[in-house]
Amino acid sequence: MLRVLQILEQYDPEHSPNTLSSDVIGCVVPRAPTTSESIYTEAVKTVHHANSATHNSSEVEDTNTLSRTRSGRADHTKWSTEQDSPKLHTKYRIKSSEEYRERRRLRQERFRAKQAQREKDLKTEVKKLRQDVPLLEMQRLRMSFENGLTLGSVVTEYFQIFRRGIWPSNAATSCFIKAMSQQQLVFLQTAISRHVIVGKFQGVDALIEQWRRYCTYFDNVEFRLGELEFSSPNIVWTRSTMSVSITEKTLEKVFPHLLEAEQLRLRSKLLSQRLVLPCRVCFEWNEVSKRVVRLDTMVDFITPLLDVLGNLDSVALALKKFLIISDCFH
């Protein structure tokens, strides 16, 4: 820029010796500006414009700085005023915050409860599936040998499986009892017809109920197989025995009339006695389905009671209101 100004000063008309005054030549029409004058004029305008822009920029910056300063002071004054003045709606904000936390806590509790219930359901389902695995495996093995089943083998297995009566299965029973219960269930499902005839009743449930009552009303049940008598290829009779012990529950459920005061003598004779009951069981076999379709059990109570009570009158009195017949025992 300094170099440009030096060049322009060389062409400055005020310092030029060839300049003519108005006294020498009058009424002269203004001449057109020379090239040097045009360059000088443009340069001066440029410098002046640059200085003006710089000055305006400084003024704008100063104005913005002043505005920010004033705004900051105003904000500080407003903040100070808010700090000094009571807060508005503070109670509402606190209440809203507490309500939000309470809703969040309730949602979390519901979520945890759902998770816990789901975990509990899954554990129950897994436990049930694990219990079903051995049962299904036994069914598979038995069905693979189903074609080789015969009436004699089924009768023998029936006395082996139900030698101690029916095994109850629940959450409190041991693994051994659960395994025995599953074995009995598999046998009933694979060797006994679903519509098996049991005395005056029909169905596997009737057979299970018969065994359940024997094991509930008597103590220490033991079922033993004797001889097999085939009356036909599909019908067999067995001579067997069922040994039971008489308890207070036996007197209550089977001999309730002996609980009367005048029957004290008979009651004392029967209590804690071990009876060996002769039995005859009839099995009818269906060769097509390879299942038992009829299972009748007949138990002789008269002979062992006669041995215990000593005479037929006492036996008749003991069996007068004998509930085991009305409860569908045979």
SS3 241: strand
Q: Could you tell me if 58 and 64 are in contact, meaning their C-beta atoms sit under 8 angstroms apart?
A: no
Spell out the CATH class of 148-319: alpha beta
Q: Are 275 and 308 in contact (CB under 8 A)?
A: yes
253-259 mean pLDDT: 85
Q: Which pLDDT score, from 0 to 100, does residue 19 have?
A: 47
CA-CA distance, 173 to 55, in Å (whole number)? 101
User: Looking at residue 21, what is its pLDDT?
Assistant: 46
> Using CA atoms, how far apart are residues 170 and 168, in angstroms rounded to an integer?
7
Question: Which pLDDT score, from 0 to 100, does residue 236 have?
Answer: 94
d(CA 149, CA 13): 139
With CA atoms as reference, report the closest residue to 154 among 30, 267, 22, 289.
Answer: 289
- Please give the pLDDT value at position 158: 92
Mean pLDDT, the chain, rounded, equals 75
**69: helix, coil or strand?**
helix
Residue holding tokens 């008598």? 229
Domain locations along the chain = 103-147, 148-319
Assess contact for 278 and 298: CB atoms under 8 A.
Answer: no
Backbone angles phi and psi of 113, in degrees to 5: -65, -40
- pLDDT category, 325, cuts 50, 70, 90? low
pTM: 0.57
pLDDT for the residue 41:
55
Q: pLDDT per residue over 262-271, tens digit each?
A: 788 888 888 8
Give the type of residue at 87.
K
Asked if residues 251 and 218 have their Cβ atoms less than 8 Å apart, the reply is: no
Tens-digit pLDDT profile for residues 293-315 = 999 999 999 999 999 988 898 88
pLDDT tens column, 37-73: 554 455 445 545 545 544 454 444 445 554 555 554 5
